[in-house]
Amino acid sequence: MNPNSLRDASLLDLYKMEADAQVQVLDAGLLALEHDPQAAAHLAACMRAAHSLKGAARIVGLDGPVRVAHAMEDRLVDAQKGYAPLDAFAIDLLLRGTDLLRNMPTPDAEADIAAARIFVESLTLPRTADAALPPPKATVTPARTAEPTATHQPETADERALRVTARTLDELLGLSSETLVEANRLSPFAASLLPLKRMQDGLAKLLEALQHRTAGLAADDDMQTALAQARQQAAACQQLLGERMAQADQFGWRIGDLGQRLYDTALRCRMRPFGDAVANLPRMVRDLARTLGKQARLEIDGEVTRVDRDILEGLDAPLTHLLRNAVDHGIEPPAQRRAAGKREEGTITLRARHSAGMLLVEVGDDGRGIDVPRLREEIVARGLAARQTADALSETETLAFLFLPGFTTRAAVTEISGRGVGLDVVHDMARRLRGAVRVHQRTGEGTRFTLELPLSLSVARSLIVEIAGERYAFPLAYVARTLRLPHDAIEQLEGRQHFEHEGRQIGLVGASQVLQYAQRPPMGDVVPVVLLNDQQGRHYGVAVDRFIAEQTLVVQPLDPRLGKLQDIQAGAVMEDGSPVLILDVEDMLRSIEKQVASGTLQRVDADTAAHAPKRRKRILVVDDSLTVRELERKLLANRGYDVTVAVDGMDGWNMARAQNFDLIVTDVDMPRMDGIELLTLVRKDPRLQSTHVMVVSYKDRPEDRQRGLDAGADYYLGKSSFHDDALLDAVEDLIGRAES
Amino acid sequence: MHDRDSDSIDDCWNRIGVRGDRSCPRLDEYIHCRQCPVHAAAAKTLLHRVVSDVDMRAGAPATSSIANGGAFLLIFRLHAEWLALPVAALAEVTAMRPIHSLPRRAGIVLGVCNVRGRLIPCISLAALLDLAPRQAEEDGKATPRMLVLSSHTGTIVAPVDDIAGIQPFTASSIGALPDTLAGARYASGVVRYRDRAVGLLDSARITQAIVGRLQ
């Protein structure tokens, strides 16, 4: 039937692998050539790739790819010799060729050959009749339809080699760390043999002295012989022990080295270069720009940046969305750009770098930016906020609306479609990866989205300290400074300790006090202090017992059965095998704030207790927006409720369990833990069964409403309506008046 | 535990070896019985011996009754009490390891500890069982160990004061609880081991109680 039916399957696999690699070279080279058609190096690289592919295809007997590669090579040779320079249209055609190569061989060899023939014809035709050809769009379309398969293929090839469950990898890491610990015990053991060696040396010397002494006494020969023998034996012992010790030493060193390398390799299993995930993006940007009649180029920076495998996989969707947005809405059409005095070709930069223990991924464009005043109008028009509130919003707060699901500023920002399409996906993904996404814009100069993600979900560089006799770790990303404060540098003000650092007074808090350990070790002459900054720019000095080390820890989530531990993020095992808990610094800062606040609260309570013994209804307001939080707090406090605020779901959850509330009013979209999660936790906790929960959210769609009610909310209120009495009425319906 | 009579194995180490009168000529070469191939061969035989060869206490009929409700039990000591747990509930027994306490957690949770590179929650069985506080005087011979308990809900570590070993018991040798303990929360029976009464704990109820009190 098929002339190729006898071809060797494994040879074919090899060809596919080579084709994947060469097609990438071709793609990259062709895109570069589009910019600079004269770039000899890229031209040569493309020719080499096409040529090697042709050779490889010939060996496995694939006629289709041979023809395509051959035609491409010919075309490139023509370009090199200057017969036919490469214009955008030619590049389009050649890119189509790479798509064909990527997807070949299909099971149907005849169809391959037919497709190749059509391609070869299309490639040879235009040299004479450029103008008569269909517009480039028509040729781009098939290339784009070929894209899904193009992106899938390398992925499946990847997985075949690397299909390992995360659990196995974790176990491997656990075992390799234990191996390292055990291996490191060998050198102390070898060292412990030293006293034995010394004792033997002493024994040998004693024997020697004895022999010398008896030699003069003319004692009997038997004794002399026995002594000589004893000395011989002792010498043999010394030698043997010496050899064995050296061997043990060497063995210890080797096994330690191996253990370390095993551990490092196991760790590295999780990391991949950023470039792995972005190879096909320049192509996507180019194709998209061309279909939209624009010119755009993607510049990638930081391809070698190492990124955790889980994070890299998670980045795929958000990056695609952000790039599409940049091309679609950011970059202006060439005419507009020319009028604005910019280059016709827009530049989109994708940059990945490590910064302060975080992975920063930036997608920037040099386009028109975001029209913030129009965005405000849109917010008001959609009833998401009252005019007053909207006008009071800062630019950053306003831009945050872009991340609401379904929020689009169609016609407000661009003509084609609204920015915001897919931005909630970006937002969700960043949240899921324990990161954040920010947007900056300069009108007329461009927009920049910054994804701030942890370097890895599994490894954290940390400062290990001792608190109340136990080991704790601060993730380095949160540590501003460490200090060793002389005891007399600490001053007191109203019973609170503080110290001066770089011209600023900084409050001092005992870490064991924050963690509520009963045992408070006395302060020494020098106090080790970790400086922490919170997002509002407040500084705290946290006093610890002592600094132990700076180390890379493999983060282990704690057993979920233990529930959420306040101020603790995860656990880890140190190199010597001892357990250490990793502090949740954001949580901890909140605990500190609360302890600071409760100090004053007590005095306020003491004053009011005499006048107002009546118990007021207590409400917890959970919202991450300061404006909304304060608005709600004021509205409720004016009605006489005792209102406490929490800045996100996690904070709210900690407070809900620590104190009694009659009602929790929560937002849905919040960092660290969203309102639905909080609601679910509250409903699961038997002690909080009687607490009412009201959800207040911008998400006003019926499905959002349903999601909230399904999770157990007593009431779901759209944020657009809380400026009137709707909120207060609903609160009174649920828990009655403030004092009763 | 080596005092079992058994025809197939000659426990020469107890007669002429390091635990006997040291008259064995092989001692010159091997210094200690544990280096001697005879000892190793005997150990291997013991290891590979099928269960039915093991002498069942009180002349009970062998394996079939283990299948019919009998069990291998791990016998350990907590404070002054001797207790037993079915081996099926046990993943391993390890040496003591450092325990890291959890802030703001009291009750039965002692903290977490490192078992084979994983952090496992560590609980106090004594606190769970409401045992009387430990006597100040401990005999020096006890070797505290950690039990790694594994169930469908996950793994838990619990330190114990001493371990006597693993013993097979037939269903009939597991006695009922005394009437005074009829309402016992975790005990399901009593077995006799070396003229001691040992409380047999119900592993399912223990696991359940632990999960409920971890948070």
pLDDT tens per residue across span B118-164: 889 999 998 888 877 766 555 566 788 999 998 888 889 999 998 98
Q: Is there a single domain that holds both residue B144 and residue B94?
A: yes
- If one compares B171 and B140, the residue with the highest pLDDT of the two is B171
pLDDT at residue number A149: 37
A-chain residue closest to B99, CA distance: A579
Average pLDDT score over residue span A458-465 = 81
Q: Do B103 and A517 touch (CB under 8 A)?
A: yes
Q: Is there a single domain that holds both residue B43 and residue B128?
A: no
- What confidence tier does A469 reach under pLDDT thresholds 50, 70, 90? confident
Which residues neighbour B72 within 8 Å (Cβ) at sequence distance 6 or greater? B66, B86, B87, B88, B166, B167, B168, B169
How big is the CA angle at A330 (ends A697 and A296), to the nearest 5 degrees?
Answer: 145
Q: Do B113 and A579 touch (CB under 8 A)?
A: yes
- Type of residue found at A579: P
Residue B124 half-sphere exposure, CB side, CA atoms within 13 Å? 17
Tokens at residue B151, please?
């169930």
Q: What part of A 121-140 touches B (C-beta under 8 Å)?
A: none
User: What gap in Å lies between CA B143 and CA B164, rounded to an integer?
Assistant: 10
User: What gap in Å lies between CA A126 and CA A135, rounded to an integer?
Assistant: 12
Q: Is there a single domain that holds both residue B113 and residue B85?
A: yes
Q: Where are the beta strands (DSSP E) in A250-344?
A: 271-273, 296-301, 306-308
User: What gap in Å lies between CA B36 and CA B32, rounded to an integer?
Assistant: 7
Residue B75, classed as helix, strand or coil, is strand
A-chain residue closest to B214, CA distance: A562
Of the partner residues A175, A561, A577, the one whose CB lies closest to the CB of residue B114: A577
User: What gap in Å lies between CA A717 and CA A719, rounded to an integer?
Assistant: 6
pLDDT at residue number A535: 56
Average pLDDT score over residue span A361-367 = 90
Q: Do B116 and A178 touch (CB under 8 A)?
A: yes
User: What gap in Å lies between CA B83 and CA A514, rounded to an integer?
Assistant: 39
CATH code of the domain occupying A166-268 = 1.20.120
CA distances from B117 to A550, A568, A734, B19, B145 (A): 20, 19, 50, 38, 18
Distance from CA of B103 to the nearest CA of A (A): 6
pLDDT at residue number A160: 42
CATH code of the domain occupying A273-454 = 3.30.565.10
Which residues neighbour A498 within 8 Å (Cβ) at sequence distance 6 or greater? A490, A491, A492, A505, A506, A507, A508, A541
Q: Do B121 and A567 touch (CB under 8 A)?
A: no
- What confidence tier does A464 reach under pLDDT thresholds 50, 70, 90? very high
User: What gap in Å lies between CA B169 and CA B73, rounded to an integer?
Assistant: 7
User: What gap in Å lies between CA B20 and CA B38, rounded to an integer?
Assistant: 15
At A645-674, the pLDDT tens digits run 888 888 888 888 877 888 999 988 887 788
Is the residue at B115 inside a domain? yes
One-letter-per-residue 3-state SS of A639-659: CCCEEEEECCHHHHHHHHHHC
Beta bridge partners of A556: A571
pLDDT at residue number A614: 53
pLDDT at residue number B138: 56
Would you call A577 an interface residue with chain B, using a CB distance cutoff of 8 Å? yes
At A602-650, the pLDDT tens digits run 332 233 333 334 567 889 999 887 777 877 888 888 777 888 888 888 8
Tokens at residue A375, please?
């965005």
pLDDT at residue number B181: 64
User: What gap in Å lies between CA A44 and CA A50, rounded to an integer?
Assistant: 10
Q: Is there a single domain that holds both residue B174 and residue B80?
A: yes
- pLDDT score of A47 more than 60: yes
Distance from CA of A540 to the nearest CA of B (A): 20
Distance from CA of A232 to the nearest CA of B (A): 21
Going by the DSSP 8-state scheme, the letter that residue A477 receives in this structure is G
Q: Do B114 and A573 touch (CB under 8 A)?
A: yes
Omega within 30 of 0 (cis) for the link into A105: yes
Residue pair B181/A586 in contact by the 8 Å Cβ criterion = no
- Type of residue found at A374: R
Q: Do B153 and A561 touch (CB under 8 A)?
A: yes
How far does CA A332 lie from the centroid of its chain? 31
User: What gap in Å lies between CA A482 and CA B2, rounded to an integer?
Assistant: 59
Q: What residues of B are in contact with residue A471 (Cβ under 8 Å)? A: 100
Q: What residues of B are in contact with residue A170 (Cβ under 8 Å)? A: 118
At A503-542, the pLDDT tens digits run 888 888 888 888 877 766 666 788 899 998 765 667 888 9
Which residues neighbour A381 within 8 Å (Cβ) at sequence distance 6 or greater? none
Number of domains in chain B: 2
User: What gap in Å lies between CA A65 and CA A52, rounded to an integer?
Assistant: 11
pLDDT at residue number A521: 64
CA distances from B46 to A269, B54, B92 (A): 42, 9, 20
Q: Is there a single domain that holds both residue B69 and residue B44?
A: no
Q: What part of A 578-607 touches B (C-beta under 8 Å)?
A: 578-581
Instruction: Tell which CATH classification among 1.20.120.160, 3.40.50.720, 3.40.1010.10, 3.40.190.10 matches the domain A9-162.
Output: 1.20.120.160
Q: Is there a single domain that holds both residue B42 and residue B69?
A: no
Average pLDDT score over residue span A422-437 = 76
| CATH 2.40.50.180 given to domain A460-590 | yes
Q: Do B112 and A573 touch (CB under 8 A)?
A: no
Is the residue at B101 inside a domain? yes
Q: Do A581 and B100 touch (CB under 8 A)?
A: yes
Beta bridge partners of A273: A306
User: What gap in Å lies between CA B184 and CA B170, rounded to an integer?
Assistant: 22
* CATH 3.30.565.10 residue window(s) in chain A: 273-454
- Type of residue found at A640: G
Residue A506 half-sphere exposure, CB side, CA atoms within 13 Å? 26
pLDDT at residue number A416: 39
pLDDT at residue number A696: 85
User: What gap in Å lies between CA A79 and CA A719, rounded to an integer?
Assistant: 62
pLDDT at residue number A739: 67
Is the residue at B187 inside a domain? yes
Q: Is there a single domain that holds both residue B115 and residue B27?
A: no
Q: Is there a single domain that holds both residue B77 and residue B173?
A: yes
* CATH 1.20.120.160 residue window(s) in chain A: 9-162
Would you call A611 an interface residue with chain B, using a CB distance cutoff of 8 Å? no
Q: Do B116 and A174 touch (CB under 8 A)?
A: yes
Q: Is there a single domain that holds both residue B163 and residue B200?
A: yes
Strand order in the sheet with A491-493: A479-486, A526-533, A539-543, A504-510, A496-501, A491-493
- If one compares A9 and A342, the residue with the highest pLDDT of the two is A342
pLDDT at residue number B100: 92
Average pLDDT score over residue span A542-570 = 85
> Residue A415, Cβ neighbours under 10 Å: how many?
8
At A217-227, the pLDDT tens digits run 766 778 888 88
| Domain containing residue B157: CATH number | 2.40.50.180
At A151-184, the pLDDT tens digits run 333 433 443 455 667 677 777 877 887 787 777 7
pLDDT at residue number A598: 65
Which residues neighbour A347 within 8 Å (Cβ) at sequence distance 6 or greater? A296, A297, A299, A365, A366
Residue pair A540/A589 in contact by the 8 Å Cβ criterion = yes
Supply the Cα-derived Rg of chain B in whole angstroms: 20
pLDDT at residue number A465: 94
Is the residue at B163 inside a domain? yes
Of the partner residues B105, B114, B214, the one whose CB lies closest to the CB of residue A579: B114
Instruction: Tell which CATH classification among 1.10.10.10, 3.40.190.10, 3.40.50.2300, 3.30.1360.200 matches the domain A614-735.
Output: 3.40.50.2300
The residue whose two tokens read 């030698």 is: A239
Q: Whose CA is closest to B158, among B96, B107, B215?
A: B96
Q: Whose CA is closest to A136, among A291, A327, A328?
A: A291
The residue whose two tokens read 């450092």 is: B98
- pLDDT score of A315 more than 80: yes
Average pLDDT score over residue span A680-684 = 86
- What confidence tier does A704 reach under pLDDT thresholds 50, 70, 90? confident
Q: Do B100 and A567 touch (CB under 8 A)?
A: no
Q: Is the C-alpha dihedral spanning B91, B92, B98, B99 positive or negative?
A: positive
Distance from CA of B108 to the nearest CA of A (A): 12
Average pLDDT score over residue span A724-732 = 78
Structural domain boundaries enclosing B119: 64-213
- What confidence tier does A236 reach under pLDDT thresholds 50, 70, 90? very high
Q: Is there a single domain that holds both residue B41 and residue B70?
A: no
**For the residues of A674-720, what is the DSSP string, one character each?**
-HHHHHHHHHH-GGGTT-EEEEEES--SHHHHHHHHHTT-SEEEEGG
Average pLDDT score over residue span A141-154 = 37
pLDDT at residue number A132: 38
User: What gap in Å lies between CA A628 and CA A720, rounded to an integer?
Assistant: 11
Of the partner residues B116, B121, B214, the one whose CB lies closest to the CB of residue A175: B116
- What confidence tier does B180 reach under pLDDT thresholds 50, 70, 90? low
- pLDDT score of A585 more than 70: yes
Average pLDDT score over residue span A95-106 = 82
- pLDDT score of B3 more than 80: no
Tokens at residue A631, please?
């608005």
* CATH 2.40.50.180 residue window(s) in chain A: 460-590
Buried b (16+ CB within 10 A) or exposed e, A624-638: bbeebbebbbebbee
Would you call A174 an interface residue with chain B, using a CB distance cutoff of 8 Å? yes
Q: Is there a single domain that holds both residue B101 and residue B34?
A: no
- pLDDT score of A50 more than 90: no
User: What gap in Å lies between CA B193 and CA B167, rounded to an integer?
Assistant: 9
What number of C-beta contacts closer than 8 Å exist between A and B?
Answer: 81
User: What gap in Å lies between CA B34 and CA B41, rounded to an integer?
Assistant: 11
Buried b (16+ CB within 10 A) or exposed e, B156-194: bbbbbbbbbeebbbbeebbeeeeeeeeebebbbbbbebe
Beta bridge partners of B196: B193
Among A139-143, A425-429, B81-85, the range scoring the smallest mean pLDDT is A139-143
Q: Is there a single domain that holds both residue B145 and residue B205?
A: yes
Note the helical H segments in A104-220.
109-124, 136-145, 147-162, 166-184, 186-192, 194-215
Distance from CA of B148 to the nearest CA of A (A): 15
Of the partner residues A561, A563, A573, the one whose CB lies closest to the CB of residue B117: A573
Would you call A515 an interface residue with chain B, using a CB distance cutoff of 8 Å? yes
**For the residues of A413-441, what is the DSSP string, one character each?**
TBSSS-TTTTHHHHHHHHHHTT-EEEEEE
